[in-house]
Every structure is written in C-alpha cells, then in structure tokens.
Amino acid sequence: MLKDEKYILVDSEESLAGLLQDLELYDMAAMDTEADSMHHYISKLCLIQITIGEHHYIVDPLCGLDISPLFKARAMQTLIFHGADYDLRLLWQTFGFSPKKIFDTMLASKFLGEEHLGLADLVRKYFGDELKKENQRADWSLRPLPLEMCEYAIHDTFYLHELCAILAEKLQNAGRLQWLMEQCDALIEHSREQGHMKKDPWRIPGSNAFPPQGLNILKYLWEWREKEAEALDRPPYKVMPAELMLSIVRHVMRDFPELKLERLPKLPRNFRESRLDSFMDMLKEAIATPENEWPTRLPRSAPPAVVPHSELLAALKLWRDEKAVELNLDNSLVANKNQLVWLAVPGDTPWETRYENAHLLGWQKKVWNQILQEHLDKAERIGG
C-alpha cells in the first residue's frame, strides 16, 4: 500500500551519492518539485521528489549540499512529470537545468480526452487509490521537514512510472504518442524563455481606469506594500490583495485631498499601531505629491501584430471546435486564440506560411490539413 512506502531523504554527501548511483542505472526518472511561493516574498525551490526503480527520493536543495551533479545523471535527461510547466521553469531558473525529453502525464491525459486531469483523479481511476491533499498549501521551506509532509511529497511521483506506461500505450494505440512528444518538446523550449520585467509593475489589472491622481496613489500604495512584504518575508498579496488596493484608491480619490481613516474600506486586522501609522503616512505623502509628478494613463494598446479577417476567424474557430469534438480533444490543443488569429490573416498568404506564423506543431498542421481538405474553398472565398 502507498502509505507503507519508505523514502530516502537526500541531505548528505552519502545519500546524494546513493541517488546518483541509482540514476545511472535507469533511462528515465519521475520527478516533482515543491516551492514556497505562497509563504515568502521571494519564492524558491524547496524540494525535489524523484522516484526511480523501487526507490523514492526527497532531495533537499536548502540543506547546503551541492546537488548540481544530479542534473548530469543519466536518468535525469528523460523525466516524467504531471503538469510539467511550473516545474520546468523552476528548475531552469534555479539551476539552469532542463531535461532533453519529458513525458507529461497531464498533457497525455489531455490528448486522450480524459474528463479529469488531476493526478489524484487519474490515480483513483487507474489504481483505485486516494492521494493525500492536506499538505497542498504547506510551507515547504520548513526545516526540519515534518514527517507527514515528506510522506505527502512522495505521493506526487509514486505512480508516475506506471501511469506513464498506461497512458503511453493508450496514446500509441490512438496514434497520438508523437503528438504528445512534440507538445512536450515545445514545453521544454518554452520553459527556457526568460519573462520580461514589467516596466511599471504597480499598474495592476484595473488600474488604467484611474485618472493620474488615482494612479499616483496606487503607485505609492504598491511600493509601500512591496516594502512591507519584503520586511515580513510574505507574498505581497498576503499583505494586501489587489482588490483592496484598488478599493483604497477609489475611496481616497472620493475625499481628495482630505484623508479620513474611517472613510477607507476595511483594512486587514494587523493594520495597527506602527503599521497603520506607516500606511497613513504613505497615503498623506501620495496626496501631497505635486500634480506634475503624477503618472499618466497608458496610451491605448498598440495595434496587434496582425489583424485577422473577422469572418475567416469565426469560420476557423467553428471548424476547429468541430474537429476538436471529433477527436475528443480540448479545442485549445488544436489551436489556441493567438494561433487562430495568425491563421485568419486576410489576403492570399499561403497556408503553410500561416502555419509557420502561428507556430503550429507538426501534429497540429496535419489536423489543420484535414480541416482544410473539407473547407479550403470556403476559407479562400471568405478570406480572399
């Protein structure tokens, strides 16, 4: 039974050596990671779970051990994940590591048209077992790691090898295994892309409705929240959620330039004494800022890279959805919104060029060739 399984905690040179030796005996390992983004200002990778052969390892990246040799090991070049996107980005950002190949059991389930994609759902369906859920929101930076958290952690990789084998066979029989491999390769590439730092991170969703006066108050409020979050080592949203920030700005504008505490929306319970004084001083400073220093509204969004033919876009979306139903696939796998836009460019652009501009994978191109076999004449009449 799963509850009786043992794990090996890798937090010493000896245990790391044992893991490295084990990894050289196999071609593939199952992996999961845990981070602490819900508990700290700067999130970090706190745990790496690896199942290989009969062994379940929990690697502690916070123990001071140099675990970099891990990423050169044989089995680490081909990994099984369930929902690999976040894990791959975390591994790349932390260690500059990405595997050569992956098998994502969540993506595999999508390609098989599974109704429920969660690991717990799949384990229940294929193995009749129930995965523990009580530590999903735990603080994985806690040390020493509580026993129950370690036992929870190994459950995320315990079934992945067997699940991979089951889903791979089903995909092979359905002629879709190569589809998954292409999608997984694209996921690896995507994980290596560096996100662009937002120029004005204080411009949160909903903020551009404010006039410059409100934008100035929001900027002060956002910067104050960041300093508080860093000092407390907490995620900023736990200091003050975005919805409350927007509400505070609206209330301050209503009485501007006066500032009345009793007229503000309800503040978090820990806004007392020095924190409350600091908060009110910040708002007073924002109100006192000269008008010529207020931020301006952003201009309307830049025109899109391509403007689709509206009728062709609607037709392609309809045909995509029909094909997705026929294949029992999520329609976004056949083409997402951005890809549809590039497919629907007006004029006589060749379809192969549209495919390339939409960054369609090989399997997607084949599906769209099938769609166009039936609808090409109509597509050309609409978009011509």
pLDDT, one tens digit per residue, over 8-21 is 999 999 999 999 99
Checking if the pLDDT of 384 tops 70, the result is: no
| Pairwise CA distance, residues 355 & 378, whole Å | 18
> Tell me, what's the pLDDT at 196?
64
pLDDT surpasses 50 at 180: yes
376 token code pair: 């090409």
**How high is the pLDDT of residue 315?**
96
Instruction: Please give the pLDDT value at position 1.
Output: 39
How confident is the model at residue 305, as a pLDDT? 75
Question: Token pair for residue 70?
Answer: 């891990």
Phi, psi values for residue 10, rounded to 5°: -95, 95
Among 1.20.1070, 3.10.450, 1.10.150, 3.30.70, name the CATH number for the domain at 207-293.
Answer: 1.10.150
- 8 Å CB contact between 103 and 164: yes
* Dist. CA 115–CA 107, nearest whole Å: 12
- State the DSSP H helix or E strand holding residue 231, giving kind and residue range, or none if neither: helix 212-232
Mean pLDDT confidence for 38-49: 94
Q: What is the pLDDT of residues 62-84, one digit of tens each?
A: 999 999 999 999 999 999 999 99
pLDDT surpassing 70 at residue 23 = yes
Residues β-bridged to residue 31: 50
The C-alpha atoms of residue 60 and residue 64 are separated, in whole angstroms, by 9
| Residue 44 CB-density burial (10 A; 0-12 exposed, 13-18 middle, 19+ buried) | middle
Mean pLDDT of 101-129: 96
Q: What CA–CA distance (Å, rounded) separates 198 from 227?
A: 18
Of 214, 382, 222, 251, the C-alpha closest to 311 is 382
- C-beta of residue 208 within 8 angstroms of C-beta of residue 298: yes
Answer CATH for 2-191 from 3.30.420.10, 1.10.3720.10, 3.90.550.10, 3.30.70.141: 3.30.420.10
pLDDT at 4 over 60: no
Answer whether 321's CB lies under 8 Å from 332's CB: no
Using DSSP's 3-state secondary structure scheme, residue 209 falls into: helix
pTM, two decimals, is: 0.88
Q: How far apart are CA 346 and CA 383, in angstroms?
A: 5
The pLDDT-based confidence of 314 (bands split at 50, 70, 90) is: very high
**Domain boundaries in the chain?**
2-191, 207-293, 310-383
Rounded to whole angstroms, the Cα distance separating 172 from 163 reads 14
> Averaging pLDDT over each range in 171-180, 185-194, 255-264, 290-299, which range is the top one?
171-180
